[in-house]
Structure 1
Amino acid sequence: MIRHLGAILAAASFLTRLPMPLWVEKDSEAIAQASRWFALIGLFIGIIAACLLYAFTALMGQELAVVLTLVGTILLTGAFHEDGLADLCDGFGGGWERSRKLAIMKDSQIGAYGVLALVTSFSIKVIALTQLSLPLACSALIICHAGSRAIAGLVAVYLPYARDCDSNSDNNKTPQKDAALPLKNRLILCICGALPLLMLPLSAALALLTVWLVTFIGLIRLMQRHIQGYTGDTLGATQQVVEIAGLIFFVIYHFQMTVSL
């Protein structure tokens, strides 16, 4: 029990900026072993975001509440995945050769593609969550945060690590690059990521899973074409893109439900 709790807290230390007890191991090996709990931490982040949205909406209305909720989520996670999205867009958009794309993604500076990606991402999230009813917006936050982190964790099953194996420069972003993802760990990821789908009708849950599957396949092919593998940045970008795809699905779902009434 203590071992599992330590792994969960290690995963939380990697994906959030929350302080952890001193006894929690935070080295690369510990985080790699804890990666099976990333979707559970995503569920936790989604619940916090939903609580923020619900509380802020009661004070100031949903429009401003959505913006403050997203800002609060960024503060909670340290814009960890947003950074990956910006780096991926800069690298894939600004480089011609594989080596150049990887070098751009490793650069801490942000370019035009990265800026546009972040602005577009934040705008879509704000507009999508504003268009949804408050209960559905809260459910969407919980479902998308959990599901997107589960899917991002599965990228390593289908692609090799793209950078040189003897390089330690990317360890902080990809501690799990040298660790296999056993079937047990994949099941834990998928179960934790899929659990919030129980809040939806079966037909809607299956439709969302289909959207996520198509998005996942598209991202895998994109990474394969550009860098023949994955990096820590592409994992972060996967989480963001899958989350956005989920929010867009919820807008369509809400619109169709409204029209049918």
Structure 2
Amino acid sequence: MTAWRPLPRPGLARAVLELATAFVWLTRFPLAGLVSRELPPLARTGWAFPLVGLAVGLMAALVLALAAWLGLPAPVAALLAVAAMVLATGGLHEDGLADLADAGGGADRDRRLAIMRDSRIGSYGVLALILVTGLRIAAIAALFAAAPMLAIAALPGIAAASRAGMVAGLGLMPPARPDGLGRLAGRSPPGQIAMAILLAGLALLAPALATDRPALAAAAAAVAIGLAQLWLAHRAMRRLGGQTGDVLGAMQQAGEAAGLVALTLFV
């Protein structure tokens, strides 16, 4: 990859390049050919993170809609929907969640950062994956059993909204390491954070409008996502001194789980 140099290009072409770059970093979609020569810093593509989440969530929503058409039980449908999201991202964010959880066993900051770079998974990581993934599946199953349309709308909306917190983390938290993704990605400027939050808010309208109390549902989902991600960000600042790619991935997972659980209050 060559260093990105801002070139004079139309706004639409630049936006397409940034969107494709976000997809290359955050998913396994085959779009690398679109960014092979001029790769913007990841932080400069933050506005597109919710759109990436929207695409990932739409894949899961299609799976859920197919499951509803086939008459599959809610737990099976929910498991297949989460599997679709894992397939789309390559388990990138789940891996970050497991690494961050394993770091909890480190005695000091340097040891915790070293643990996060270890490719092996420990008991803390396994437990975190079981609990958070299980919570996502259980929440989707509850939504699907009670209100299938709400469940289908929730997946893209929550997937998009939970990725806005990653942009805020890139912009507001310093990198924990002098190298690694957290440093290479750069710092998201305020405009990127604001655009990501705006898109996240719009994405939450779809599941909210599928409830009887849309304003309250949207607010509850947004607050749940924000609180879960703020809690993780606070712990990362205290124990690691900043953010890494694993921290950002864990924030996405925690936010998604919290947002889905919040929506179960409205069925």
Amino acid at match of 1:145: A
Is 1:8 matched with 2:15? Answer: no
The 10-residue stretch of structure 1 (73-82 or 26-35) with the greater mean CA deviation from structure 2: 26-35
Kindly state the Cα deviation for residue 88 of structure 1 after the two structures are TM-superposed: 0.3
Work out the CA distance in 2 between the residues paired with 1:160 and 1:74: 28
For residues 90-129 of structure 1, the aligned pairs below 5 Å read: 90-92=102-104, 94-129=105-140
The answer for the alignment partner of 1:41 in structure 2 is 52
Q: Which residue of 1 aligns with 2:227?
A: 214
Residues 29-178 of structure 1: pairs in structure 2 closer than 5 A:
29-61=40-72, 62-92=74-104, 94-132=105-143, 133-164=147-178, 167=179, 170-171=180-181, 175-176=184-185
Does 1:247 find its partner at 2:260? yes
Q: Could you tell which deviates more after superposition, 244-253 or 214-223?
A: 214-223
Give the alignment's Cα RMSD to 1 decimal: 1.8
The answer as to whether partners of 2:93 and 2:249 remain within 8 angstroms in 1 is yes
CA-CA distance at 1:30 after TM superposition: 4.2
Q: Work out whether residues 28 and 175 of structure 1, in 8 Å CA contact, stay in contact via their aligned partners in 2.
A: no
Please say if 1:223 is aligned against 2:230. Answer: no
Q: Which has the higher contact order (CA 8 A, sep 6+)?
A: 1
Percent same amino acid among aligned pairs?
Answer: 35
Tell me how far apart the structure 2 counterparts of residues 248 and 26 of structure 1 sit (CA, whole Å): 42
Runs of 4+ residues over 6 Å off in structure 1: none
2:95 is matched by which residue type in structure 1? D
The answer as to whether partners of 2:220 and 2:263 remain within 8 angstroms in 1 is no
Are 1:185 and 2:169 matched, yes or no?
A: no
Quote the offset at 1:246 in angstroms: 0.6
Q: Which letter maps to 2:157?
A: I
Q: Distance in 2 between matches of 1:213 and 1:34?
A: 21
Secondary structure class of the residue paired with 1:23:
helix
Specify every segment of 5 or more residues in structure 2 that has no aligned partner in the other structure, as ranges. 1-11, 209-213
- Partner-residue secondary structure (3-state), 2:170: helix
Q: How many positions carry a matched residue from both structures?
A: 246
Matched residues in 2 for 1:51 and 1:229: separation? Answer: 37
- Displacement after TM superposition at 1:66 (Å): 1.5
Structure 1 CA distance for aligned equivalents of residues 170 and 44 of structure 2:
14
Contact residue 171 and residue 190 of structure 2 kept, 8 A:
no
Inter-partner Cα distance in structure 2 for 1:81 and 1:215: 15
Please tell me the residue identity of whatever aligns with 1:156: L
Say if 1:13 and 1:26, in contact at 8 Å, map to a contact too: no
Contact 2:156 2:203 in 1 (8 A): yes
In structure 2, the CA distance between the partners of 1:23 and 1:220, relative to structure 1 (3 Å rule), is closer
Instruction: Report which stretch shifted further, 79-88 or 118-127.
Output: 118-127
Counterpart residue type for residue 95 of structure 1: G
Counterparts of 1:117 and 1:48, CA distance in 2: 24
Matched, 1:198 2:205: yes
Shift of 1:25: 3.7
* Structure 1 residues not aligned, in runs of 5+: 255-261
Q: CA–CA distance in 1 between the matches of 2:189 and 2:26?
A: 21
- Give the Cα separation in 2 of the matches to 1:140 and 1:47: 10
CA change 1:54–1:114 in 2 (3 A) is: same
